[in-house]
Amino acid sequence: MSAPRWSVEGRDWPNRAASRFVTAGGLRWHVQTFAPEAPVVQDPPATILLLHGTGAATHSWRTLAPLLGREYHVVAVDLPGHGFTTGRPVGGLSIAGMAGAVATLLGTLQVAPQVIIGHSAGAAIAARLAIDGTASPAAIIGLSAALLPFPGLAATLFPTMARALFVNPVAPHLFARIARTPGETGRFLYRSTGSRIDDAGVACYAALLGTSAQCAGAIGMMAAWDLVGLRRDLARLKTPVLLMHGDADRAIPLSNAREAAAAVGDGRLETLHGLGHLAHEERPEEVAAIIRPFMEARI
């Protein structure tokens, strides 16, 4: 199975100078860090952890991370099965397994994030960390957060299809071959997310999804995802939560975000007009402008 190579797919990786590799919990993690160069009011600055969504990697934060890094200490990681992180967590690619692996990494890095920002499935991992007490953020921000089962029949069909693909060893190779078709990744991203992102972002997705290991990681993550269990536990989440959701999101309906915001103890929803599932990649400056006051009121 082909995997993304740092010397090839990562040769022109966004913010490459911010990258390093860290061994923790039996995995070799790709980690990017950003921090203010000039003195800031907070000493030291608050720490933000960024967790990307299914099928993505640190490139998803290519503009937002440096923007936030002007004022805060920002840590972004490639989740297990994704990007340039290698190895498999003890608990597999389930929400609990991923959250446990991230908690181990944070311990190795000696980082205790005051804020966790998660995109899509990354928001579910952030919620799991806080619910289980393996992280104690003062705030969680979910961008197009995948916190609830898909509505209607999709709640049953989607996980079942993902599990069927997961046990088929040919599936990752077929998806990778499709991703290598010129122009197909950009078309797929728009069809599935409703977002039009820049060429640099599309190129990163194409490079990753053109490898069977990235496709297998995404399929494995979806096959192991227990959003029904997370939905049951959301009432235990007492951390203040801001959900930011585009009204043009084709992956997760806005109604899902409304329900999720109401399900947590202290949740609010900010609608992003005209933006899709990758809103933070479409208009990172707009997203950062909403994030800052929410964080500052809580850290």
Whether pLDDT at 88 is above 80: yes
Rounded Cα distance, 107 and 200, in Å:
33
Whether pLDDT at 19 is above 60: yes
Fold exhibited by the domain 16-152+227-296:
Rossmann fold (3.40.50)
Q: What is the mean pLDDT of residues 199-221?
A: 94
pLDDT of res. 167: 47
Of the pLDDT bands very low, low, confident and very high (cuts 50, 70, 90), residue 156 is very low
Whether pLDDT at 161 is above 70: no
Helices (H), 133-211: 154-166, 171-179, 184-193, 199-209
Q: Which residue reads 């009011």 in tokens? A: 41
Rounded Cα distance, 1 and 290, in Å:
41
For residue range 101-138, list pLDDT tens digits in order: 999 999 999 999 999 999 999 999 999 999 999 999 99
Q: Where are the domains of the chain?
A: 16-152+227-296
Query: What letter would DSSP give residue 274?
Result: T
For residue range 40-69, list pLDDT tens digits in order: 555 789 999 999 999 999 999 999 999 999
CA distances from 221 to 29, 151, 241, 243, 280 (A): 17, 19, 23, 22, 22
End-to-end CA distance of the chain, in Å? 44
pLDDT of res. 91: 86
Q: Decide: 135 and 128 in contact? Cβ < 8 Å.
A: no
Helices (H), the chain: 64-68, 95-109, 121-132, 154-166, 171-179, 184-193, 199-209, 212-224, 227-233, 254-263, 279-282, 284-296
